[in-house]
Amino acid sequence: MLITRRRLMATASAALAATSLPRRGWTQTTLTLGETEIITLSDGWLDLPADMIFGPMPQDDLAPVLAQFGIDPTAPLTPPCNLTLLRRGDTLALFDAGSGTQFSPNAGALPEALEAAGIDPFDITHVIFTHGHPDHLWGVLDDFDEPYFANAEHMMGGAEFDYWMDDATVGNIGEARASFAVGAKRRLEVIESGLTRFGDGDEVVPGVAAVLTAGHTPGHMAFLIGDGADTAMVLGDAIGNDHVAFARPAWLSGSDQDAGAAAATRMALFDRITADDVTIVGFHLGQGGIGKVEARTEGYGFVPMT
């Protein structure tokens, strides 16, 4: 193994994170599809005000739905952050890069999770982004503003890349998300020269096709993974939680930048997933994030892999 200054610094940073941070809600869940191994690794969790998701929803109807899940509608939400790793042959692809150290105090645990799984960030061959929000993108750089996955090819949907690189985005995205735009542009500028753009339906790595799932962000992508007769879909934030998004997918969510488009995307995804019996891998879904979708009398339910 080639030892470089950056490798030593990255290793030291990971060790410091492991010793100085409180114990994380780390999980590792594995799914095997033929010769493909899919692993979810925890980047920690977020602390969100409930209104960020529930604000636009019909409040009288919302309360009994939340009660089914034991959720206090006034308490902060703490969604998990599941990074997805795909291993097949010489490919070791990571979907999204986590939060890094500059977004949320309880997120940014990916280096710790990789170390616990025995994976060196220098061995990652591809980093494939679902979208440009901080919990998915900001971990792409280390604390020296250099690419954390130094040997990887970075990949993002062309429309999503253009959106975050557009100087007008910071003025149009709204005050609450203006820092998202500034942070995304700064990080994308660092990796731009080596970044590959792709479109809806493109094969990003062998056996993995991009699926445009716009709404949460303008160019949000999910990824359909196929190996033989088995399929799984990395959802990113197209289905953003395992409670209301499943139970009432048509309801608008405050977490989505275009709430109407995102609701239409969710409903179309649920139709596709249930019709084709696709296993799902969700960034903010509980219990490791891997499972099946079950159609119910009203809405759907998430059945985590046991």
What domains are defined for the chain?
5-19+30-304 (3.60.15.10)
- In this structure, the chain runs to a length of 306
Q: How far apart are CA 87 and CA 206, in angstroms?
A: 11
Question: Is residue 86 classed as helix, strand or coil in its secondary structure?
Answer: strand
Q: Which helix (H) or strand (E) holds 199?
A: none
Question: Is residue 265 classed as helix, strand or coil in its secondary structure?
Answer: helix
- Residue 88, strand partner residues: 91
Nearest to 112 by CA among 31, 37, 187, 27: 27
**What are the structure tokens assigned to 193, written together?**
């020269």
Give me the amino acid identity at 258.
Answer: D
Can you give the pLDDT at residue 11?
38
Nearest to 66 by CA among 79, 54, 52: 54
Task: Pick out the chain residues at pLDDT < 50.
Answer: 1-25
CA 55 to chain centre: 22
Q: How far apart are CA 282 and CA 242, in angstroms?
A: 9
Can you give the pLDDT at residue 27?
62
Question: Is residue 105 classed as helix, strand or coil in its secondary structure?
Answer: coil
Can you give the pLDDT at residue 10?
40
